[in-house]
Structure formats: structure tokens, C-alpha cells
């Protein structure tokens, strides 16, 4: 059952591939779009490394700041773009988009580097301290531990930036995801699919490599000793990055949104849309978390689910739209929001799956099986209590990602039922005003709630551990 659902989540990608093979429209290689995409993504990755490495050094010390670092990462790129507009800066080109992406994605590098440094066994460092210089320690002990997580994090940032749709679409920079959307709008399905197919292969290859590298910091005190001077420098960079990428946008939105009653009034105007979006996002989160916790073991399909996370959101949307057209699905089904929910589930399956697949020790489940407990009882008595904190955190993150996602919403929102993020995205094309600020504040508030659940689920030490 869980395997069948896992296969269902791959339908959108299968539809995309099918469209590339047999869809309408001619194949024209979008060389310029590829060039812009690669250059922009490389710039974002470089910026994230420049900020994330010192911030990671600082985060290796542990403490509550580690979870605070996740806040900018939760901020949707849409809000980072709104912040750019709020500052009254000129319309950004390719590298402006890279700066916006970097402001959102630097915590990926910081958290990965921080986790890697915190995991260096203290005896290794003690032994090195006795016999090696500081440079040798960095080269021989620290770097080998940090190298792979750093590369993995940089790769993740590169792919996330390359596949990002909202920022380049807002500022009319013709990157690959924008070109795919434009071709789709012109009903050149095959051309759109071909444009993105190499990205699917790259994302898949990367997903296979990256899934074994631990990126989420382990709870508990870090053991990594740091020199005060370097740590002070790292603190300055981390704090500045955090203020610029999270504190500043929030302050700008609060300033522009006006009084509380004005903010509430805007929210009321979009009430139906907010409720509709939240309902879809909650359904997506609940289904994915339940599915992941029921499976609770590794799967050969993991790289495919992970690859979907690194692809433009319009890729699964396009695949699903084309597939439903081929299958001749009834109109009421297309209008029900089920397609949108499936595209969102396909895109964010890995976010729910990866934290939950190892939430329970395999031997605990095996002990239950040998004790004659039924599957339902094992899930209720053994899996659920152990997985609950991570399930809450994963569910909250999926909920928010689904709420703020633009790509699938652009293509698959039923008539008259736009998501709130899509409203915000459309509204931003008219400029930055009180409505944009108020809707942004609503998403920021959701970020806060999500962060609280993530904090409980991922960063706090689990008191119950044998």
C-alpha cells in the first residue's frame, strides 16, 4: 500500500518524461536559459558558501541559535523578492536574483557545516592538538569531516537556485524554469519538457549521491572547540546574514502593512483563498507524514522523490497536467484541487520521508514483530511515539512549503480558487504595497509557527533515548 502510494507520487515526473518523448511542439535547445540558469545558480552557491561556512563555524558551538539559523531558510523566496521591492532597489538582473536566492539558501550551507563540525569526535581533536599545528588540524582533521557535507550543501543550493521559479518570474529573468513555463503557455509541451529533462537527470544523480550525507544537526551539545577570535568573526557574519535575510524583511513588512486592523482587513479580503490554501497544504502534509511514518524504512525510490524536490515546481505540474489531459480525466476531478495536491505531494515527498524513514530503530520494529504484535499495534505503540516529534516537524515544513509554493499553483489551481501565495505573486507584479506587505506578514507568521514545531521536533534533545 505504502509502496503503491510511493509510485503514485512519481506519476508527475513520469508524465513529464512522457511529454518530452511524445508531446507536441518542436525541440529547441534553450541555450541562453541554460547559461543564465547555471551562472545564476553558481553565483548563489558561491554566496551561500561565503556566508554559510563562517556561520556554520559559529553554529558548531550548538545552543538555541542553531535552530534560529533555520528561520531564513523557511522564508519563501517570494518574500525575499518582496523585500527587495520594499527596499526600493532597481529591478534585479541575473545576479540580483542570485543575491535574493543566496539570502534564503545560505542556512543550508551553515547548518550542514555546523553539523559536520559538531560531529568531529573530540578524541580526534585532542590527539591532533597534542601533535599538530592549527593549520594541520584544519587540513587533516576538520576539512575531511566538513568536505562532503559542504559539497552536498553547495550542490543542494545550486539545484534549488537553478530550479527556482518565483524570483526570476517576478523580475522577468528568462531562466530555465521561466522558459519551461513560457513554452507550456504556448502549448509546446514537448519543447517545455525537453528543456527541463537534463535538469531531471542532474537532480536524480545528485539525489543518489546526497542522500547518505547527514545534513541535519544532531541534537545535543557540540564538542567542537573553536578559537575565540575566529568565532567572534564568524558570529559577526552569521548575525549580519541573519538580520539581512530574516530580520530586515520582517521589519519592512511590519512597517508597510500599517495598523493591525488594516492587516486583518487584507487577510479578511483573502479569507477564502487563505482557508483554501491552508486546507490543501494541510491535506498534503497529513497524507505525506502518515505515509512516511507507515513505511518507516528505506526505499529504492528515494532518489526519485528527492530529485523532485530539486526540480522547478512547474515540472511535476506540467507532467500532471499533460498526463491528466491524455487520460481524459473528468472535469470535476481536475477542478477539485486533487491534481494540485498530488503535484505538491510529488514535489515535497522527500521532506516528509527522509526525517521519518529512520525515526524508529529497525530492531524495535523487529522486536515487535517477533513479539506477535500486529502491524497496527506496532505502528501505534512503537512507531508513532518515537516518530511523533519528527512527524510534527516534517508535517509543519511540508505544510508551509505547500502553502508558499507557486509553480504547481500557477498551472493547477482550479478556476476561481487561487492559493494565497499565487495571489501574492500576482499582486507583486503591480508593485509593493500594503496588500503585499500584509500577505507577506501572514506567511511570516506561518514561518514562526512552523519554526516552533521544527524546533521541538528536530533540535531539542529527545529525553527518551536508550
Partner 1 sequence: MSGVSVGIRSLSKSLGGRVVLRAIHLDVAAGEWLALVGPSGSGKTTLLRLIAGLDRPEGGEILFDGCDAASIPPRHRDVGMVFQDLALWPYLSVHDHLSEVGGDAAGELVERFGLTGLERMRPHELSGGEQQRLALARAVARSPRLLLLDEPFSSLDPVLRRALAGTLRELQREREITTIYVSHYFETPVLNASRVALLCQGRIEQAGTVAELRENPKSEWVSAFFADEAEVDS
Q: Residues in the site for partner 1, rule: CB under 8 A?
A: 361, 363-364, 366-374, 377, 381-382, 385-386, 463-466
Q: Where on the phi/psi map is residue 337: left (φ > 0), alpha (ψ -120 to 50), or beta?
A: left
Dihedrals φ, ψ of 433, to 5°?
Answer: -140, -170
Distance CA 141, CA 125 (A): 7
Q: Which is nearer to partner 1, 255 or 371 (CB)?
A: 371
Closer to partner 1 at the Cβ: 379 or 451?
Answer: 379
Query: Nearer to partner 1 by C-beta: 122 or 377?
Result: 377
Closest to partner 1 by CB, 260 or 376: 376
Q: Which is nearer to partner 1, 227 or 374 (CB)?
A: 374
Instruction: Compute the least distance from the CB of residue 165 to partner 1, in Å.
Output: 40
Compare residues 32 and 380 and give the one whose CB is closer to partner 1. Answer: 380
Name the minimum Å distance from CB 381 to partner 1.
6
Nearest to partner 1 of 260, 370 (CB atom) = 370
**Cβ proximity to partner 1, 121 vs 385, nearer residue:** 385
Residues 210, 328: Cα–Cα separation, whole Å? 38
Question: Grid coordinates in use for 340?
Answer: 494540485
- 63: phi > 0 → left, psi -120 to 50 → alpha, else beta; which? left
Q: What angle in degrees, to the nearest 10, is found between the helix axes of 11-22 and 338-357?
A: 120
Helix, strand and coil percent figures for the chain, each rounded to 5 = 75, 0, 25
Task: Please say which residue, 122 or 362, places its beta carbon nearer to partner 1.
Answer: 362
- Beta carbons of 349 and 289 less than 8 angstroms apart: no
Burial of 38 (0-12, 13-18, 19+ CB in 10 A): middle
CA quadruple 425, 428, 432, 435: dihedral positive or negative?
Answer: negative
If the CB atoms of residues 144 and 385 are measured against partner 1, the closer one turns out to be 385
Cα separation, 81 vs 436, in Å, equals 11
Nearest approach, Cβ of residue 31 and partner 1 (Å) = 43
DSSP 382-433: IIHHHHHHHHHHHHHHHHHHHHH--HHHHHHPPTT---HHHHHHHHHTT---
The three cell numbers of residue 74 are 523557511
- Strand ranges inside 140-184, DSSP E: none
Contact 404, 310 (CB under 8 A): no
Rg over CA atoms, the chain:
22
434-454 vs 384-404: helix crossing angle, rounded to 10:
170
**Which three cell numbers mark 173?**
529573468
Smaller CB distance to partner 1: residue 145 or 390?
A: 390
Check: CB of residue 81 under 8 Å from CB of residue 166.
yes
Provide, rounded to whole angstroms, the least separation between the CB of residue 368 and partner 1.
7
Amino acid at each position: 500500500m505504502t509502496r503503491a502510494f510511493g509510485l503514485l507520487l512519481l506519476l508527475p515526473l513520469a508524465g513529464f518524461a512522457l511529454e518530452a518523448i511524445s508531446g507536441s511542439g518542436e525541440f529547441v535547445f534553450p541555450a541562453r536559459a541554460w547559461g543564465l540558469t547555471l551562472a545564476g545558480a553558481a553565483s548563489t552557491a558561491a554566496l551561500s558558501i561565503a556566508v554559510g561556512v563562517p556561520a556554520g563555524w559559529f553554529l558548531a558551538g550548538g545552543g538555541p541559535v542553531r535552530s534560529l539559523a533555520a528561520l531564513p531558510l523557511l522564508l519563501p523566496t517570494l518574500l525575499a523578492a518582496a523585500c527587495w521591492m520594499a527596499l526600493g532597489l532597481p529591478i534585479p538582473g541575473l545576479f540580483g536574483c542570485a543575491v535574493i536566492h543566496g539570502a534564503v539558501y545560505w542556512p543550508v550551507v551553515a547548518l550542514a557545516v555546523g553539523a559536520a563540525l559538531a560531529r568531529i569526535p573530540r578524541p580526534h581533536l585532542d590527539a591532533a592538538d597534542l601533535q599538530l599545528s592549527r593549520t594541520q588540524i584544519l587540513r587533516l582533521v576538520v576539512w575531511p569531516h566538513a568536505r562532503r557535507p559542504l559539497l552536498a550543501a553547495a550542490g543542494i543550493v545550486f539545484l534549488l537556485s537553478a530550479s527556482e521559479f518565483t524570483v526570476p518570474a517576478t523580475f522577468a529573468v528568462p531562466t530555465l524554469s521561466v522558459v519551461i513555463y513560457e513554452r507550456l503557455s504556448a502549448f509546446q509541451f514537448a519543447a517545455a519538457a525537453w528543456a527541463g529533462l537534463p535538469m531531471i537527470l542532474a537532480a536524480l544523480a545528485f539525489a543518489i549521491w546526497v542522500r547518505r550525507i547527514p545534513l541535519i544537526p544532531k541534537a545535543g551539545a557540540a564538542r567542537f572547540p573553536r578559537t575565540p577570535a575566529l568565532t567572534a568573526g564568524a558570529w559577526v557574519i552569521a548575525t549580519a546574514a541573519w538580520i539581512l535575510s530574516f530580520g530586515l524583511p520582517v521589519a519592512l513588512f511590519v512597517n508597510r502593512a500599517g495598523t493591525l486592523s488594516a492587516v486583518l482587513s487584507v487577510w479578511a479580503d483573502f479569507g477564502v483563498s487563505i482557508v483554501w490554501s491552508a486546507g490543501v497544504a494541510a491535506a498534503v502534509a497529513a497524507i505525506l507524514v502518515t505515509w512516511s511514518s507507515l513505511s518507516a524504512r528505506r526505499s529504492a525510490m528515494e532518489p526519485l522523490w528527492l530529485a523532485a524536490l530539486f526540480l522547478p515546481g512547474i515540472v511535476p505540474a506540467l507532467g500532471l497536467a499533460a498526463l491528466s489531459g491524455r487520460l481524459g480525466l473528468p472535469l470535476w476531478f481536475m477542478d477539485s484541487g486533487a491534481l494540485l495536491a498530488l503535484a505538491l505531494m510529488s514535489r515535497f515527498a522527500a521532506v516528509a520521508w527522509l526525517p521519518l524513514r529512520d525515526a524508529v530503530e529497525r530492531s524495535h520494529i523487529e522486536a515487535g514483530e517477533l513479539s506477535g504484535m500486529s502491524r497496527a499495534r506496532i505502528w501505534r505503540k512503537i512507531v508513532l511515539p518515537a516518530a511523533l516529534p519528527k512527524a510534527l516537524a516534517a508535517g509543519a515544513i511540508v505544510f508551509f512549503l505547500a502553502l508558499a509554493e507557486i509553480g504547481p499553483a500557477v498551472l493547477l489551481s482550479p478556476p476561481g480558487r487561487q492559493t494565497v501565495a499565487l495571489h501574492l505573486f500576482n499582486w507583486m507584479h503591480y508593485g509593493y504595497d500594503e496588500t503585499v506587505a500584509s500577505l507577506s506578514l501572514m506567511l511570516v507568521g506561518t514561518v514562526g509557527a512552523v519554526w516552533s514545531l521544527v524546533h521541538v521536533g528536530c533540535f531539542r534533545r529527545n529525553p527518551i533515548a536508550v
